[in-house]
Amino acid sequence: GSMIRMARQVVADRLVTPFYQPRIDMRSGRVLGCEALLRWHHPRLGVQLPGSIAAGFHHSDIAVALTAQMLDGVLTDLRQWLAEGLDPGRVAINAAAADFAHGDFADRVLRQLDSFAVPAEHFEIEVTESVFLDRGADEVARALRHFARAGVRVALDDFGTGFASLTHLKQYPVDVLKIDRSFVSNVDQDAGDAAIVDAVVKLGGTFGMEVVAEGVETEAQAQCLLELGCVVGQGFHLGRPQPFSAFHPPKRG
Ligand code: G
Ligand code: G
Ligand code: MN
Ligand code: NA
């Protein structure tokens, strides 16, 4: 369809550009890192959201190329921040199921970190639970362990919306749980959503994982999350996704 054609064009013309959304300690306001989100630059219309090429994420060649271009852009920016004495913390990128198809994804990423001289501690991989289902859990698990050994953290994205979440937590080296924004948007009004956040915070505590609330849009949500013990947040209330030119990590030290 036309969305696939558009996605191919984006890949061929290398139009991908990462935007950065901060991950915030909601007690202090400190920037702990950020998530790199795919945007692309239409030659006439300007910056476009990924929705316009979303079908591409499920098409193996295109998805792999999109991740590769994101990685390239992110490492270029990360290297620049580090050279300027800034502390970007952890920068996360989203991986697609197709990235895990050839068994060498972790290897390729780690080699690229190396060639950009970016330490693994500044990098994180986000996967959704659907990646385990699409790809075969063993194959994905192998890649995640490879990342973990190298010091790259792994985040489970959209947590709570997928299948078999608890099995994944027990078996795989997951460092971060990102609570899906569907549980966050009414956390201050819906007792059920608050109970889910509470449970995920406790689960994270038990397994020694950081818990991040996604899609924090209001101060009331932030306060409620803090009361539930969820300290780290991401969302429009805390910081919008911004291009490299507008995103300023804190100074080191
Ligand atoms: O930014 P926006 O809300 O439009 O993103 C829509 C969807 O695209 C989200 O589900 C998000 O996870 C996904 N997405 C954004 N950036 C990337 C990326 O770099 N790779 C993959 N695979 N998905 C991404
Ligand atoms: O699936 P993933 O969590 O990677 O998707 C993140 C997407 O959510 C990004 O594309 C980003 O644009 C969007 N996003 C980030 N913060 C908020 C928010 O506070 N509210 C809403 N509705 N979307 C958000
Ligand atoms: Mn994500
Ligand atoms: Na998410």
* 16-25 vs 31-42, strand pairing mode: antiparallel
Q: How far is the CA of 226 from the centre of ligand 2 (A)?
A: 20
Ligand 2: residue whose CA is nearest its atom 13:
215
Report the alpha-carbon distance of residue 97 to residue 71 in Å, rounded. 16
CB 108 within 8 A of CB 148: no
Q: Does pLDDT of 190 surpass 60?
A: yes
Please identify which residue in the block is written with the tokens 């959209």.
158
Report the alpha-carbon distance of residue 96 to residue 171 in Å, rounded. 20
What pLDDT sits at residue 177? 96
DSSP state, 95? P
- Relative orientation angle of helices 105-115 and 60-83, to the nearest 10 degrees: 30
Report the alpha-carbon distance of residue 40 to residue 48 in Å, rounded. 5
Residue 234 — pLDDT band, cuts 50, 70, 90? very high
What pLDDT sits at residue 165? 63
198-212 confidence digits (pLDDT tens):
999 999 999 999 999
CA neighbor of 245 nearest in space, from 79, 18, 31: 18
Relative to the CA of 50, which ligand 2 atom is closest?
Answer: 10
0.90 cut: is pTM over it?
yes
**Least confident window among 129-133, 144-148, 191-195:** 129-133
SS3 229: coil
CA neighbor of 123 nearest in space, from 149, 153, 86, 164: 153
Share of the chain above pLDDT 70, in %: 99
What pLDDT sits at residue 102? 87
What pLDDT sits at residue 125? 98
Report the alpha-carbon distance of residue 94 to residue 37 in Å, rounded. 8
CATH superfamily of 2-174: EAL domain (3.20.20.450)
**Least confident window among 18-32, 129-143, 213-227:** 129-143
Q: Show me where the domains of the chain are located.
A: 2-174, 175-238
Find the mean pLDDT for residues 23-50. Answer: 97
What pLDDT sits at residue 89? 98
Find the mean pLDDT for residues 60-65. Answer: 96
Report the alpha-carbon distance of residue 169 to residue 181 in Å, rounded. 20
Host H or E run for residue 53: none
What pLDDT sits at residue 144? 95
Backbone dihedral angles phi then psi of residue 217, each to the nearest 5 degrees: -110, -15
Q: Does pLDDT of 164 surpass 60?
A: no
Find the mean pLDDT for residues 170-188. Answer: 94
Pocket of ligand 2 (CB under 6 A): 21, 37, 94, 157-158, 181, 214-217, 235-236, 241
Q: How far is the CA of 215 from the centre of ligand 2 (A)?
A: 6
The vertex-193 CA angle with 190 and 199, nearest 5°, equals: 140
Q: Does pLDDT of 147 surpass 60?
A: yes
What pLDDT sits at residue 163? 64
Q: How far is the CA of 185 from the centre of ligand 4 (A)?
A: 13
Pocket test for ligand 2, best of 214, 219, 237, 242 (most atoms within 8 A of CB): 214
Q: How far is the CA of 53 from the centre of ligand 1 (A)?
A: 10
Relative to the CA of 217, which ligand 2 atom is closest?
Answer: 19
Task: Choose between 169 and 74: higher pLDDT.
Answer: 74
CB 251 within 8 A of CB 87: yes
Ligand 1: residue whose CA is nearest its atom 12:
94
Say what the ipTM of the complex is. 0.91
Relative to the CA of 95, which ligand 1 atom is closest?
Answer: 22
SS3 183: helix
Residue 166 — pLDDT band, cuts 50, 70, 90? confident
